[in-house]
Amino acid sequence: MLYKSDDKSKHTELQLPGFSTELETLEIPQYTLPQKPLDAQTVYHLIKDELLDEGVARHNLATFCQTSMEEEATRLMSEMLEKNAIDKSEYPRTAEIESHCVNMIASLWNAPASENYLGTSTVGSSEACMLGGIALKFNWRARAEAAGVAVQAQKPNLVISAGYQVCWEKFAVYFDIELRAVPLDEAHLGLDLRAVLDYVDDYTIGVVGILGQTYTGCYDDIQGLNALLETYNQTAQVSVPLHVDAASGGLFTPFVEPERLWDFRLSQVVSINTSGHKYGLVYPGVGWIVWRGERYLPKELIFNVSYLGGTMPTMAINFSRSASQIIGQYYNFLRFGFEGYRRIHTNTQKVALFLSGVLAETGYFRLYNDGSHLPVVCFALKEDAEVLWSLYDLSDRMQMKGWQIPTYPLPAALDDVIIQRYVCRADLEYNMAEELAEDLRQALEELNHAHVLRTAPPTNKISGFTH
Ligand SMILES: *Cc1c(COP(=O)(O)O)cnc(C)c1O
């Protein structure tokens, strides 16, 4: 967030906690640096108390991000916090671990070794998408110039479903690209394959397929998209490559539906990103991007950092950051292996299916995603539900019971549909899901008997669902 000088809350000073050993009551300024140091214990408690009412992370069904890791992983990561991921020379073993992870992910995504794939860790999918997008832009320019297209005559564009995550809008604004959003296909809630080629021209740097749209968890038909582009590229003056934004599906689908074709097995896929901190099961922030081959990552985008007396190529927007998330990713890969990830994700999927079953049973909801692919449950109130309450009221009721569950409108052209979404993660265990189901039944009962004040139709609100 960007903060302004007038964003200060009313209480500009902290009081020492009641159990403090300090006898005098100190007032600690919050918007200017305190003059004197405080002892570590006091500050620890002070800040811990300040953060107390933020809700239980495991009850937060709004986020795709990991909210629980094993004790050994957490310990290992906290012991490695000081390692700077960019200092390849000082921490060569850490650099080696990053390379192990890239190779593991590339093989999980079936990158053909013959094409010399390459990849890197990032802070998250947002950075990875920026890197992927920049590579698409540079490659497009080279292809378009070679084909005699006047590259300055028009802004280059990127084609994506209207259900894109906000990072693509950032990419478009920051790097001066026209974002061409294809309205959602009502039948599939993904990229509309009947319309997508209408948005493509000689200025298109690439098309993005999304493996798990943030709004609904539904998959774009990436295999279908690949077939369309394969045909288009046979006669195109400037060919159009495919990038897959697999922020949530990239470390889920290969374990649960290995036969689904969405990755480098498809001929037009040149790069794929994922968030290690979503279904890669690592705390935020780590992401990954892999390019199918060296020729898809233009040389001018690669910068060298020193490494053991020589240099090592890197591609990143950020420079310094802790390596502990990379180490956490490696821990999970070693600890769970393919079978472990498969078991964990399959259990999460069972939980999602259980919850969508409970929701369906109530009779009030129309399911948009029952969790049978990505374990995301997404539903709207049926038009004939004949209730006075809205999904926003239901979110509020569930929040009273501690659950954070977002309600928001879908993107164009379905923006008159209000949905509610449960993102199921590994730490939403079956027992917890049963409690959630019980709380839901109670909330519905309460709402049906509540005195609901309705003076106007509920306005569309947006709550934190984008991650
Ligand atoms: C979450 C998400 C992103 C952004 O990922 P971060 O790792 O939070 O930066 C991008 N695309 C999609 C489809 C997402 O779901």
Model pLDDT for residues 262-278, shown as the tens digit of each residue? 999 999 999 999 999 99
- List pLDDT tens digits, range 320-379: 999 999 999 999 999 999 999 999 999 999 999 999 999 999 999 999 999 999 999 999
* Residues 256, 279: Cα–Cα separation, whole Å: 12
What is the residue with the minimal CA distance to atom 1 of ligand 1? Answer: 467
Contact indicator for 156, 137 with CB cutoff of 8 Å:
yes
Q: Is 58 exposed, middle or buried (0-12, 13-18, 19+ CB in 10 A)?
A: middle
| Structure-token pair, residue 37 | 């140091």
Atom in ligand 1 nearest the alpha carbon of residue 285: 7
338: amino acid identity, one letter: F
Q: Which amino acid is at 134?
A: I
Helix extents (H) in 257-369: 324-362
DSSP code per residue over 20-86: -S-SSPPEEESSS--SS---HHHHHHHHHHHTGGG--GGGB-S--S-----HHHHHHHHHTTT-BTT
Count of beta carbons in the 10 Å neighbourhood of residue 94: 20
**402 phi and psi angles, rounded to 5 deg:** 100, -10
| pLDDT, average across residues 16-20 | 59
Ligand 1 center to 310 CA (angstroms): 34
User: What are 240's two structure tokens?
Assistant: 């159009």
Contact 133, 139 (CB under 8 A): no
b/e code 140-166 from CB counts within 10 Å (16+ = b): bbebbeeeebebeeeebbbbbbbbbbe
77, 328 in Cβ contact below 8 A?
A: yes
Ligand 1 shell residues, CB under 6 Å: 64, 124-126, 129, 165, 167, 210, 214, 245, 247-248, 275, 287, 467
When pLDDT is cut at 50, 70 and 90, the band that residue 100 belongs to is: very high
Average pLDDT of the chain, as a whole number:
92
Three-state DSSP at 137 gives: helix
Give pairs for 296-303: CB < 8 Å, separation 24+. 296/135, 296/139, 296/241, 296/270, 296/271, 297/118, 297/135, 298/135, 298/138, 298/139, 298/142, 300/138, 301/131, 301/134, 301/135, 301/138
Q: Specify the pLDDT at position 21.
A: 55
Whole-number pLDDT of residue 410:
92
Q: Given a cut of 70, is residue 301 above it in pLDDT?
A: yes
User: CA angle 105-165-397, nearest 5°?
Assistant: 110
392-408 as b/e: b if 16+ CB within 10 A: bbbbebbeeeebbbbbb
Q: Are 154 and 140 contacting, i.e. CB atoms less than 8 angstroms apart? A: no
More confident of the two residues 46 and 17: 46
In which band, very low, low, confident or very high, does the pLDDT at 213 lie, cut at 50, 70 and 90?
very high
Global confidence as pTM? 0.93
The better pLDDT of the pair 38, 464 is held by 38
Helix, strand and coil content of the chain, in percent to the nearest 5, comes to 35, 15, 45
Residue 328 near residue 282, CB atoms below 8 Å: yes
Distance from residue 216's CA to the centre of ligand 1 (Å) = 13
Q: Ligand 1 test: best mutation among 67, 214, 376, 425, most atoms within 8 Å of CB?
A: 214
Instruction: Give the model's confidence band at 101: pLDDT under 50 very low, under 70 low, under 90 confident, else very high.
Output: very high
Pocket test for ligand 1, best of 65, 125, 252 (most atoms within 8 A of CB): 125
Give the 3-state secondary structure of residue 243.
strand
Query: The dihedral of CA 226, 227, 230, 231: what is its sign?
Result: negative
Q: Which of 352, 439, 357 is nearest to 398 (CA)?
A: 439
